[in-house]
C-alpha cells in the first residue's frame, strides 16, 4: 500500500538534566525532514513528535535530593527542555510527556495485551543495572573496570529483585528476519550491528520494578505492587501519539530518529514489543552518531555542556540549524568546535548565501525595475532532492544548494549586470538570477525556515529593496 501520511519521531529525553546540543541535533534533523515531507505529503499529513521521558529511579532520587515531589522535578526539567527545543524553531505537532494521562493509560493497555498473549511472566532478576541508562547490563556492555560505557563515572548496581519479564527470546527469529531487510535500520552499518546482536541471542528482559524499590512509574495493570520498567514505558510514547492522531495505520510511514546509544531499544526491543501486542511496526529506524566537542564527549562531569540557547543567542537560530545539518553525525561521530562554527558561519553564510542575496538586492534596487520573479514549481520537492532526503542525507542536499549558489554567483560575474545599460537586457538577467535564488530560498525552508521566508519576501513582489545583511560577519 502506498503511504500517504508520515509520522516522524525523535527519542524522548530523560529528565535527569536539561538537554544539550548533542541531544538537540536529532531534533533539528527530524524537524528538517518533517518540514520537507510537509511539502510532499501535505501539511496535514505529517506528524512530528518529540518530548520527555519522566519515570524511573534517577528522577525519583533527584526529586528526593531536592526535597520536592518527582512530578514537580520532571515538570521543571521538561519545561526547560521545551524551551531549548523551541529556541531551535522546531515545528513539532506534539511535545509528549510520559506523565501525560493518555500515555499512562495506553502504556498499561499495551502491557496488558502483551501479558494476555503470554509474553510477560513473573520471575527473579539477579544481575547488573546502570541507573544512568536506566537499563540492565551484561558484562559485555561494561568496560574493563566494570563500568557502563556511556556512564563510566557511575557505580554499576548489583540488584536482586522480583520482576515481570518480557519474553524477548521468543522473538529472535522474527527480529533476524526483520533486521535482514535492508532499509529497516539506517545506516547499513547499524543494521548489521543490530542483526549481529540478535544473532548472538537475547535474554528475556525485566519490564517492571517493585514499588518498594522504585515507586515513581506507571502501575503494572495486573499487579499494582510493581511499576512498568521505564524503557518499556518510554517506547510506547510513539504509539500513544500516533494512534490517537490517526498516524499508526497502514497508510502511515513511521520513522524513528535517534542516537546510537538508543539503537538496541528501538531496533530490537520495540519491534518485539509491537509484535507481542499485535500492532504494526515502524518502517525505518534511523540511527545517528554522537557529537563531540573539541574532541571530548559532551557531559556534565567534564563541564563542557553547551545548551542550544547559548548557541542561538550567539549565532542566531538558522545558523545553528545550518551548522548541525551540514556538519552533524549523519553516519559516524563528529567533532565540533566553536572556532569551526565561526568559520562555517562566515564562509557559507556571511560570505556565501548572505553575500549573494545582498548583491542581487542592491542590483535590483538600483535598476529601478519591477521584476517578474517565478516561484519554483512543486517538482522541486518531488524530484530534485527526494533521494537524498529519503536516505537522511540532508548534508548532500545542502551541498547541492550551495552548488546552485555558486552557479548564481558565476552568472552574476560573467554577465556583470552592474555594467548593462540596456534596461530590457538588465531586467532579463536579473529576473533569471533572482528566480534561481528563489529556488535556493525555497529549498532552504526545511533547513533555515526564517532565512527562507526573509529571502522570499524580499524578492517575490519584484520591487526589491536592499536590506541589512542576513548574516553579519562575526569574529
* Residues belonging to the active site: 20, 23, 130, 133, 148, 151, 297, 300
Annotate 126-162 with DSSP letters as a single string. EEEEETTTTEEE-GGGB-TTS-BSS-TTSPPEEEEEE
Helix (H, G, I), strand (E, B) or coil at 121: strand
The Cα 39–Cα 43 span in angstroms is: 7
Tell me if 117 sits within 8 A of 276, measured CB to CB.
Answer: yes
Provide the grid cell at 53: 521521558
Burial pattern 317-354, b for ≥16 Cβ within 10 A else e, equals bbbbbbbbbbbbbbbeebebeeeebbebbbebbbebbb
- Least Cα distance to 26 among 43, 51, 61, 63 occurs for 51
Residue 439: closest CA among 346, 350, 392, 377: 377
Pairing of strands 46-53, 13-14: parallel
Q: Is 422 exposed, middle or buried (0-12, 13-18, 19+ CB in 10 A)?
A: exposed
Pick from 50, 52, 69: nearest CA to 60: 69
Tell me the C-alpha distance between 36 and 41, whole Å.
Answer: 9
Cis ω for the linkage preceding 187 (within 30 of 0): yes
Amino acid at each position: 500500500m502506498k503511504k500517504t501520511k508520515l509520522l516522524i519521531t525523535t527519542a524522548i529525553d530523560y529528565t535527569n538534566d536539561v538537554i544539550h546540543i548533542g541531544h538537540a541535533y536529532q531534533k533539528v534533523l527530524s524537524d528538517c525532514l518533517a518540514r520537507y515531507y510537509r511539502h510532499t505529503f501535505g501539511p496535514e499529513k505529517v506528524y512530528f513528535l518529540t518530548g520527555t521521558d519522566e519515570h524511573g529511579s534517577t528522577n525519583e532520587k533527584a526529586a528526593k535530593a531536592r526535597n520536592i515531589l518527582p512530578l514537580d522535578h520532571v515538570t521543571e526539567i521538561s519545561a526547560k527542555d521545551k524551551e531549548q527545543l523551541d529556541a531551535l524553531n522546531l515545528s513539532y505537532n506534539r511535545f509528549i510527556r510520559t506523565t501525560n494521562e493518555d500515555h499512562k493509560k495506553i502504556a498499561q493497555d499495551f502491557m496488558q495485551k502483551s501479558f494476555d498473549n503470554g509474553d510477560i511472566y513473573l520471575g527473579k532478576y539477579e544481575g547488573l543495572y546502570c541507573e544512568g541508562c536506566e537499563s540492565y547490563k551484561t558484562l559485555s556492555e561494561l568496560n574493563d573496570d566494570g563500568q557502563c560505557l556511556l556512564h563510566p563515572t557511575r557505580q554499576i548496581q548489583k540488584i536482586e529483585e522480583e520482576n515481570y519479564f518480557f519474553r524477548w527470546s521468543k522473538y529472535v527469529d522474527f527480529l533476524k528476519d526483520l533486521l535482514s531487510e535492508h532499509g529497516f535500520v539506517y545506516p547499513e552499518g547499524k543494521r548489521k550491528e543490530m542483526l549481529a546482536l540478535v544473532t548472538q541471542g537475547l535474554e528475556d528482559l525485566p519490564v517492571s520494578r517493585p514499588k518498594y524499590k522504585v515507586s515513581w512509574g506507571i502501575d503494572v495493570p495486573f499487579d499494582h505492587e510493581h511499576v512498568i520498567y521505564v524503557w518499556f514505558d518510554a517506547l510506547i510514547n510513539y504509539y500513544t501519539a500516533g494512534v490517537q492522531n490517526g498516524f499508526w495505520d497502514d497508510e502511515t510511514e513511521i520513522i524513528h530518529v535517534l542516537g546510537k546509544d538508543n539503537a538496541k531499544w528501538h531496533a530490537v526491543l520495540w519491534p518485539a514489543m509491537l509484535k507481542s501486542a499485535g500492532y504494526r511496526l515502524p518502517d525505518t529506524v534511523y540511527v545517528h552518531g554522537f557529537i563531540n566537542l573539541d574532541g571530548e564527549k559532551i557531559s556534565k562531569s567534564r563541564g563542557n555542556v553547551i545548551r542550544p540557547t547559548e548557541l542561538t543567542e550567539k549565532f542566531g537560530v538558522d545558523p545553528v540549524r545550518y551548522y548541525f545539518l551540514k556538519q552533524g553525525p549523519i553516519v559516524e561521530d563528529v567533532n565540533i568546535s566553536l572556532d569551526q562554527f565561526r568559520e562555517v558561519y562566515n564562509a557559507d553564510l556571511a560570505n556565501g548565501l548572505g553575500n549573494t542575496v545582498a548583491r542581487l538586492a542592491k542590483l535590483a534596487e538600483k535598476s529601478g525595475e519591477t521584476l517578474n520573479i517565478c516561484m519554483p514549481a512543486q517538482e522541486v520537492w518531488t524530484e530534485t532532492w527526494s533521494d537524498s532526503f529519503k536516505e537522511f542525507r540532508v548534508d548532500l542536499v545542502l551541498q547541492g544548494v550551495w552548488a546552485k549558489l555558486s552557479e548564481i554567483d558565476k552568472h552574476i560575474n560573467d554577465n556583470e549586470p552592474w555594467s548593462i545599460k540596456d534596461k530590457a537586457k538588465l531586467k532579463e538577467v536579473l529576473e533569471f538570477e533572482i528566480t534561481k535564488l528563489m529556488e535556493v530560498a525555497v529549498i532552504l525552508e526545511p533547513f533555515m525556515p526564517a532565512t527562507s521566508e526573509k529571502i522570499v519576501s524580499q524578492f517575490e513582489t519584484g520591487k526589491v529593496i536592499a536590506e541589512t545583511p542576513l548574516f553579519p560577519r562575526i569574529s
